[in-house]
Chain A
């Protein structure tokens, strides 16, 4: 969904009272949203380069270098095709269990290549898309497809979106040549976007995923997870445009629940500030909190056998178990800043930096999982895009 676009001349950013009164008349300005239903008139190419580095105290871990290319080409007034390609080179040390600072890490290096393509047909007040994607690395292959449709109301103030997707994944392991597992997921999505006023855009999306197959992590020990996973996600967005300040506040709230027992909440805010005609500065802040999966175990180990096995693991083996830090109870804060510069009518460059930190003690309204080191990550992305 495109950002708020009030279609006002730039100087309206400091409009006077008469202009404000005029704009509140019904039907005098077109809806705030750049809604679907017309094929884009121009193509776009964007090239991005992402650097990611995560770390725990005194330990640099995963490093990712990911160049990507996005291309969108309008084929005719009714059709467009878009595609993207990304290559991730991942290197570093990944924990075998919990955070495991004490040398119990595996040096790994991997390369993932992902491509996707999407074809969209535009009709009056509706559009329909078919998408296909593939992602491959030496121990994980994923193929996915999806169909989605969007319908606009007569006044273009409301858009409904529905979608269905299917993903088939194959999992193997460089540690265990005999491991050949699969995982299949069906996804359903429905949402509505409403232009509430000329300056307010509200969106609600519901996603429901149902999958079965191999969910365990072959690189963690012990790690046995259920072979079914259902996920429910509620996503709400509210964009408010402050025309007198030439800025837009984009706020989001997301609720996540799955049958592993994880409940998570995310609140986020981005302040998109235009500075002059060419610059856009966007600071952002996001807070995430989750409860632990029901089968996550804290880093408390069997007094006899020792790490990584929890007490009683051999005498009374649990049905499901995982030391994966991502399944623990924690809170996380992301702070970021994006700066974009419009070089000309068609060329834009941007740079985005984000800092992420995750701690058990930051979990909202309760104790987080104990005994885990804080986890930090830094993202830096450079991009250049042009329209043609």
Chain B
């Protein structure tokens, strides 16, 4: 994974560094396992096999874990009115964030028919992508899922104090050894080295989606990598959404869907009893949910 990954453990029982390192290694092993299993870049991954069969009559049988993730994707698609769609990765073919090129309408219209989870034939055990060129990927929640699973591995090794941070997708194992909370900074959407707020957690998870992770600007307009699967266009209502939830996959999905919801984001987050904060493009912070005051501290710090 091409982002900063961090596992932090507090040695509450005086077990020594080697015991903690062993636990962390097992957790890193779990992250790697998920990365390999669901990589789009490895021909032998389940995702590649499903994508390779797109448009053919072949149905691809999946293992239980993949089935759970596909079911989760189905639920997210339904609960987001189709905004969270694991078939929307085909938009990468026409959006080049490195070159900073806005696709021609004809290009977009070429790929939009390939998007739509509701087209996919998924029966709980086998999956088939009906059109050639369709593809799925778990980029929308894979990293968050890995953070959750890595936390569970740490728990199984007997560790109780620490967290897993995979590029800002954070799952807390438990509080610091003295019982106090971990404090996580939330990146300022326009100042890469600064934070705009901080969140304290003793358990649960924190995930952030923002318009600053991959983007380019053309003609005074910002084009970010969060793309609406219905229009193929980048979102532009919020600069960032940070959500705390019991699990990182939930926090990640809620923050991404909130970005896609635009003006309806606050209503959507309230409906889902989410907690956290959203930052608009003028860098104004709106708190959401019933997060106790001391948990979120606003203020820019470098």
Interchain CB contact under 8 A, B254 and A28: no
Whole-angstrom distance between the alpha carbons of A124 and B271 in the complex? 43
Interchain CB contact under 8 A, B273 and A11: yes
Whole-angstrom distance between the alpha carbons of A22 and B75 in the complex? 9
B293 within 8 A of A: no
Whole-angstrom distance between the alpha carbons of A50 and B82 in the complex? 60
Contact partners of A30 in chain B: CB under 8 A: 151-152, 155-156
Contact partners of A19 in chain B: CB under 8 A: 245-247, 250, 254, 272-274
Interchain CB contact under 8 A, A154 and B179: no
Interchain CB contact under 8 A, B249 and A25: yes
Q: Mark A2-39, 1 if CB is under 8 A from B, else 0.
A: 00000111011011111101111111111000000111
Q: Which 5 A-B pairs have the closest CB atoms?
A: A16-B272, A22-B250, A77-B13, A21-B75, A22-B249
The 14 sampled A-B contact pairs (Cβ below 8 Å) are: A8-B204, A14-B273, A15-B250, A18-B254, A18-B272, A19-B247, A19-B272, A22-B249, A24-B68, A27-B149, A27-B152, A29-B246, A77-B13, A156-B155
**How many residues of chain A are within 8 Å of chain B by beta carbon?**
31
Whole-angstrom distance between the alpha carbons of A11 and B290 in the complex? 8
Whole-angstrom distance between the alpha carbons of A304 and B107 in the complex? 111
**How many residues of chain B are within 8 Å of chain A by beta carbon?**
42
Interchain CB contact under 8 A, B179 and A345: yes
Q: Find B273's partner among A7, A15, A124 (CB 8 Å cutoff).
A: A15
Interchain CB contact under 8 A, B204 and A38: no
Interchain CB contact under 8 A, B156 and A21: no
Contact partners of B257 in chain A: CB under 8 A: 18
Interchain CB contact under 8 A, B76 and A11: no
B238 to chain A, nearest CB (A): 18
A41 within 8 A of B: yes
A155 within 8 A of B: yes
Contact partners of B245 in chain A: CB under 8 A: 12, 15, 19, 22
Q: Mark B58-72, 1 if CB is under 8 A from A, else 0.
A: 000000110011001
Interchain CB contact under 8 A, B152 and A16: no
Contact partners of B273 in chain A: CB under 8 A: 11, 14-16, 19
Contact partners of B290 in chain A: CB under 8 A: 11
A7 to chain B, nearest CB (A): 6
Which B residues between 196 and 220 are near A, CB-CB below 8 angstroms? 201, 203-204
Whole-angstrom distance between the alpha carbons of A155 and B149 in the complex? 12
Interchain CB contact under 8 A, B76 and A25: no
B253 within 8 A of A: yes
Whole-angstrom distance between the alpha carbons of A29 and B75 in the complex? 18
What residue of chain A has the Cβ atom nearest to residue B201's Cβ?
A: A9
5 extra A-B contacts, CB within 8 A, seeds A16-B274, A27-B149, A38-B160: A22-B249, A23-B247, A24-B68, A28-B247, A38-B158
Contact partners of B275 in chain A: CB under 8 A: 11
Whole-angstrom distance between the alpha carbons of A301 and B271 in the complex? 73
Interchain CB contact under 8 A, A156 and B145: no
Interchain CB contact under 8 A, B79 and A37: no
Which A residues between 19 and 73 are near B, CB-CB below 8 angstroms? 19, 21-30, 37-39, 41
Contact partners of B289 in chain A: CB under 8 A: 11
Whole-angstrom distance between the alpha carbons of A154 and B148 in the complex? 18
Q: Which of A19, A23, A38, A41: most chain B CB closer than 10 A?
A: A19
Whole-angstrom distance between the alpha carbons of A153 and B182 in the complex? 30
Contact partners of B69 in chain A: CB under 8 A: 25
Whole-angstrom distance between the alpha carbons of A77 and B20 in the complex? 14
A124 to chain B, nearest CB (A): 7
Interchain CB contact under 8 A, B152 and A124: no
Contact partners of B244 in chain A: CB under 8 A: 9
B193 within 8 A of A: no
Given A19-B273, A30-B151: A25 touches B72 (CB 8 Å cut-off): yes
Given A9-B246, A11-B290, A12-B246: A17 touches B65 (CB 8 Å cut-off): no
B12 within 8 A of A: yes
